[in-house]
Chain A
Amino acid sequence: MSIDLDLYQDIVLEHKRSPRNFGALPGATHQADGTNPQCGDQISVALKIERDRIAEVRFQGQGCAICMASTSMMTEAIRGAQTTAARQLQAHFRGVLTGTEEADEAYLGKLISLAGVARYPSRIKCALLGWHALGHALQSPLPASTVSATVTP
């Protein structure tokens, strides 16, 4: 399969051009950054968690097409989900990319378009950067003062 079809599928490029849920998240309760030391790319993921449910998610930063598309699709997949479900999806996606799990197409949905990244070891970090930030964000509640500060107009 040519690389254009394998790695850079139309849906991946479409998300790269118009990332979903991109921007700041006023009223975020959790937030964390991920950095790729090879290129300095940085993705910040912010969550608004209400009773263990991810009510809102947005991301900011810059990265390659694989990174931007993966993070964009991630936000679509986890928005509205329970935090435990988001963690499970993260574990499965990581497993698929690192070759320890078979891809479950029905479960991954659009994210299946990134399964081919597993064949490009140097790019796995790119696809996981936003997910890495998500993992940290889930464990990084913002101080209450910051939360109130961001909701104050």
Chain B
Amino acid sequence: MNARPPLSEASVLAHHAALRAQFPILAQPINGQPLVYLDNAATTQMPLAVQGAMRQFETTQRANIHRGVHTLSQRATDAFEQARSSLKRFVGAGGEHELVFTSGTTDALNMVAQGLSQGQDGRAAAIGPGDEIIVSGLEHHANLVPWQQAAWRSGATLRILLPDAQGRLHEDALARLLTPRCRIFALTACSNASGERPPYEALLALAKKSGALTVLDAAQAVGHSAMQLDTLACDFMAFSAHKMYGPMGMGALVGRRAALERLTPFRFGGDMVQSVSFDRAVFAELPARLEGGSPNVGGAVGMAAAAAFIESIGQHTLEAHLAELRQHAVWGLRQIEGVTVLSAQTPTSAIVSFVVQGAHPHDIGTLLDAHGIAVRTGHHCAQPLLDHLGTGPTTRASLAVYNTHEEVEQLLTGVTHAIEVLR
């Protein structure tokens, strides 16, 4: 029997009570039990600091941006552009990068997939018949389906970089797939379904070297890992505010300017144009050209405040805390007969996905909920991956800064109980 891993409390827990108080939503009973919120890969909760920043904007700065000469409009514009700068710094963007606000990761990835596969005004699309798109087999449907559509629209061929039986991606497998016709390589920084953290730095570099545009879905990484965009061979990176302690319905696409300029805009209207006649329009420069319509300014302010919240704790501290919790959960689940944990050994992941012989995830999830424990069950919008791994649907517990070892113990007790009921 494996020994239980040592549980030295990470320093984030030194002020844990104060930190927990930042999330009043957690201090409520669910089904008569204290809430144990372990569905953070779906959405993290929002601290009071972020809610306060958004309320501050709404109560003192709210106006539409980029179009008023009045003071309030200027304040709102400043807040929006300040949020953009903060978030660029947060992900390690350099001078050659720009950040476009979107409604989330899905929106951002669609912007890239559509923008590269659709021509416009006599300008050819970036990809066409005979070209190839490689997408990893670990992807969320949001980083697969838009590429299926892009391939269909442009006549390009979609290829899948399949993981091995343990759900890991390998450089040599990518090297075998890459050809001079590969124009795009799309990859996740962490699988939302298995928790696998692929060696994305090396994979992106390999694809880039072969001449492909590279796309990184960082939705499951930015909440705890410091991204260093300026050192990554990455043309486009997408992420969501609500998976990093920020508001829902907000996200960003950040990328190299030269790459962003290749995107055909797909949301036409106000604010994205330089000049318009009844016949035609000249589009504005980046980032405005990709931000048609009135933006979610309060959301941008909240997203930047969420980044500041993460930085105030520090990504190293966060990663250490989450790694400990994950190690604890993986260790405990493996002691339970019939449980298999996906990607058990992966580094720096906050996701623990598992299957139980003879017990369906939906039944486990319902029984856990009766004990106040919130997990996600099903195929997590990654059906091809789970089919490929042969696991079928899984139960997924995902961790965040406010979770504790005590909560992990409650999960383990809850899973044990659920199995007793169901077997």
Contact = CB atoms under 8 A, between A and B. Distances in A.
Interface of A: 2-4, 7-8, 13, 16, 38-41, 62-67, 120, 122-123, 126
A8 B393 contact: no
Nearest to A126: B362
- Nearest 6 A/B pairs, CB to CB: A64-B360, A3-B370, A39-B393, A64-B362, A39-B378, A38-B378
Nearest to A117: B366
B201 interface: no
A8 B386 contact: no
A60 B361 CA distance: 19
B27 interface: no
18 contacts: A3-B367, A3-B370, A4-B421, A38-B362, A38-B379, A39-B360, A39-B362, A39-B377, A39-B379, A40-B379, A40-B387, A41-B360, A41-B393, A63-B360, A64-B362, A65-B363, A66-B363, A126-B362
Interface of B: 360-363, 366-367, 370, 377-379, 383, 386-387, 392-393, 421-422
B362 A13 contact: no
A17 B377 CA distance: 21
Given A120-B366, A123-B362, 13 more contacts: A2-B370, A4-B367, A8-B363, A8-B421, A38-B379, A39-B361, A39-B393, A40-B379, A41-B360, A62-B392, A64-B360, A65-B422, A123-B366
A3 B367 CA distance: 7
Contact of A65 (B360, B378, B379, B393): B360
Contact of B383 (A40, A64, A65): A40
A67 B421 CA distance: 16
Nearest to A120: B366
Contacts, number: 51
B145 to A, nearest CB: 13
A65 B358 CA distance: 9
Contacts of A39: 360-362, 377-379, 392-393
A94 to B, nearest CB: 19
A8 B367 contact: yes
Given A2-B370, A38-B378, A41-B393, A8 B422 contact: yes
A40 B393 contact: yes
Contacts of A3: 366-367, 370
A4 B392 CA distance: 25
A38 B395 CA distance: 12
A13 B418 CA distance: 12
Nearest to A63: B360
Contacts of A7: 366
A7 B392 CA distance: 23
Contacts of A38: 362, 378-379
Nearest to A6: B370
A2 B360 CA distance: 20
B362 A66 contact: yes
Contacts of B422: 8, 13, 16, 65
